[in-house]
Amino acid sequence: MKIPAYLQSSSVKLDDDDIELLKSFAKKNSIDLNERFFSLGNLTQSKSPVVMGFGNSINGTTEERARYNALREACGDIQKLHEFQEFFNQLNQFHSLRLAVTNTGRTFDEDLDITLKVPKGTVVRHSKLPVPGQSIISEFTGNRAVEYLFGLTATACIETYDSGYPSVPTLPSPSLSFPMLQRSQADVYQENLEEYQSNINSLFQYEYFSESDFDLVRFHIGYLKQHSSMWFPTVLIFSGQLEQIEYSVSSKHAPDEVKGSFTINLGGQQ
């Protein structure tokens, strides 16, 4: 009599990649692992029939199961740490600049188009920003995370950016959900990635144009009260430090386009 495959059991072992991850982390942090650190005793796993498929059942003592879960959790935490480090190390290679627009006139203005002119190849478009890894992408899917990284918070003197255009809510991509079917990690990551990129696109309300030797960054402000200031949509990201930026501003109530340039205090550019 042949035992059905779903009734057969096998010893539970950590993946070689997980073992190497734990050993590498321990070595880097001067942690000694004894020879029994990876031992899971007599822990076994078997496939158990469930609705619309099979699931793995872990069999062993309470201590063995707890040890296995702790090792898996440690691997997950270390992987997250590595991905956070990689993500922020990539961001730290860039330079950021916080800018605001001020209406110094005696009356309000409307339909302002602000254009910056910078050396070609220096501005980093938001589509080229680093993307969080699979283990940490869910930490960045909410609007707050993206705004914390790249947004500009209102102060007593500077209000947050408002384009003046009606906001169009971003609708989630339609998907079919079957509670009894487990989605693959790749599917979950793709869904989180799309939400992250959608939030980035909503925040970075810039248009980009290229000339022979320069790149142009443009955005719109619908209304700006007299003697008031408004932040740019986000911090501006550059591949290197800039010394000077040219700008132009056109608006509904100004007869002529305003042009000029400003020097950047390198100590204030991060």
Cα separation, 225 vs 160, in Å, equals 13
Alpha-helical regions (H) of the chain: 16-28, 62-92, 143-150, 185-203
- Distance in angstroms (rounded) separating the CA atoms of residues 119 and 225: 31
Pull the structure tokens for residue 86. 């990689």
Condensed to tens digits (0 to 9), the pLDDT of residues 232-247 reads: 999 999 999 999 999 9
- Please give the pLDDT value at position 57: 79
Are 171 and 195 contacting, i.e. CB atoms less than 8 angstroms apart? no
Q: Residue 217 has which token pair?
A: 């960054």
User: What percent of the chain has a predicted confidence (pLDDT) above 70?
Assistant: 85
Coil, helix or strand at residue 228 = strand
**In which order are the strands placed within the sheet that holds 228-231?**
100-103, 228-231, 158-159
Confidence category of residue 40, pLDDT binned at 50, 70, 90: confident
List the beta bridge partners of residue 102.
229
Confidence of residue 180 (pLDDT cuts 50, 70, 90): very low
pLDDT single digits (tens) 74-104: 999 999 999 999 999 999 999 999 999 999 9
Residue 2 pLDDT > 70: no
Q: What are phi and psi of 243, to 5 degrees?
A: -100, -30
How much is the pTM?
A: 0.82
